[in-house]
Amino acid sequence: MGFFNKLKEAALKEAKKKIMEELGLGGDDDETKPTMTTEEFEKTKPDELRKDIRMISGCQDRQTSADVSNVSSFQLPDPAGKAGGACTSTLLNILYADEHVPEDDLSFVEVLEEMRIKLKSGGYSQIPQLSSMNPIDVNTKFDLVPDTATGTRRAVMVGINYIGDDPGELSGCWNDVLNMKKYIIDVHGFEEENIVILMDDGIHTEPTKANIIDAYKTIIAQAEENDAIFLHYSGHGTKLRDDDGDESDGYDEALVPRDFQTSGMIRDDDLYELLFKNLPDGVHMTSLFDCCHSGTILDLPYLFKGDGSQTEMTLDPNMNLDAFIEKLTGKLMEFLQAKMAASLSL
C-alpha cells in the first residue's frame, strides 16, 4: 500500500503542478500577457468593486525599498529628523516643488517618472508604481486627494523602526510619517483629529498587528460618500508563500507589524478584506506604501510603472485576473476546485 500511496501522491502533485501552470501561478518574474483584455475585465468585474482605490508603491514586488540616512538632499521641510524612506522623501520633494509652481501642474506620468529619475540619481534602483482598481488617465493632473473628495478627510499612518531588532532596525520610518502628516495637513487640509498615527516610538499607539487592523477597520467604518481616505505605511514588507492560489508568482505580499514574531504578518489578502470589501461607494482611497515588495501589496489590477516603459495605465500582465475576479466575488475556492477536477479527469 505504501508504494501505491506514493504513486497517488506523485500523480496528485503533478496534477497540481499542471493546474498552477495553467493558472499562471508558476513563480517567475517575467512579464506575460494579461489573462483577459481590459474590455473583458471591465465587463466581468463586479459593480460593487468599481471604486476609486489607488496606491503608490515604493518599488516593484521583487524589489526592496531603501531607508535613507539623511533626507537633507531631498530638501524637505523636515520636522522630524534626518532619516527617511527613499520613496516618501522623493515624492514629497516633487509635490512640494509642484506646490511652489501651481500654474505648472504635474501629471501622474510626470510625478512617477520624476520620482524614478531622482531615485536613480541617488543610487536607488527601485521603480515607483501607481496601481488602481479602475483605469486612470495618467496624463491628467496628479492628485493625492481628488477634487471630488469634498467630504471628511481621514488618514491612518504607520511608521515602524523596529527599535532593538538586530538585524532589521530601520531609522527613517517615523520621519516619513511625520513629514507626510505635515504635507497632508498643510496642502490637503487634513485635520489633526482625523489622523491616526501608529509608531513604535513609545509615544503614539504601538503598531502591532491588532492595532493596525483595528485602525484600518475603524477608518473604513467611519467613511461616507465623498470622503477621502489616505493610508501611509513606512516599514518592512515581505513575501510569504501564497496560501489560497490567487497569486501569479506564488507569493503573497505582506506588511510586517511590530509584533510580527508573535502575531504574524498582515497579508495582501487580509488588506483586501479590511479595506476594500466594506469600503462605501463614493469614497476616495489613496495609499502610499514605502516598503519592500510593495508593488501589488493591495492586489490592484491596473498598473503604471514610473520607468518610462509605459505611456498609459494597463492591466498588470503578471496578475491572475481570473482568480482575482473569483476572489472578489467570494468564489475563489470553487474556481480552484473546478480547475483541479478538470485536470484530474484528463
Active-site residue set: 236, 292
Q: How many CB atoms lie within 10 A of CB 262?
A: 9
Per-residue DSSP letter, 58 = S
Pairing of strands 228-234, 153-159: parallel
Write down how long the chain is.
346
* Spatial separation of the C-alpha atoms in residues 35 and 33, rounded to whole Å: 6
Q: How many CB atoms lie within 10 A of CB 280?
A: 14
Are 306 and 113 within 8 A, CB to CB?
yes
8 Å CB contact between 254 and 280:
no
Q: Give Cα 202 to chain centroid, integer Å.
A: 27
The residues near 291 (Cβ < 8 Å, ≥ 6 apart) are 58, 65, 233, 234, 235, 236, 237, 255, 256, 297
Q: Pinpoint the alpha helices (H) of the chain.
A: 2-23, 38-44, 86-100, 108-121, 173-188, 209-222, 260-263, 268-271, 321-328, 332-344
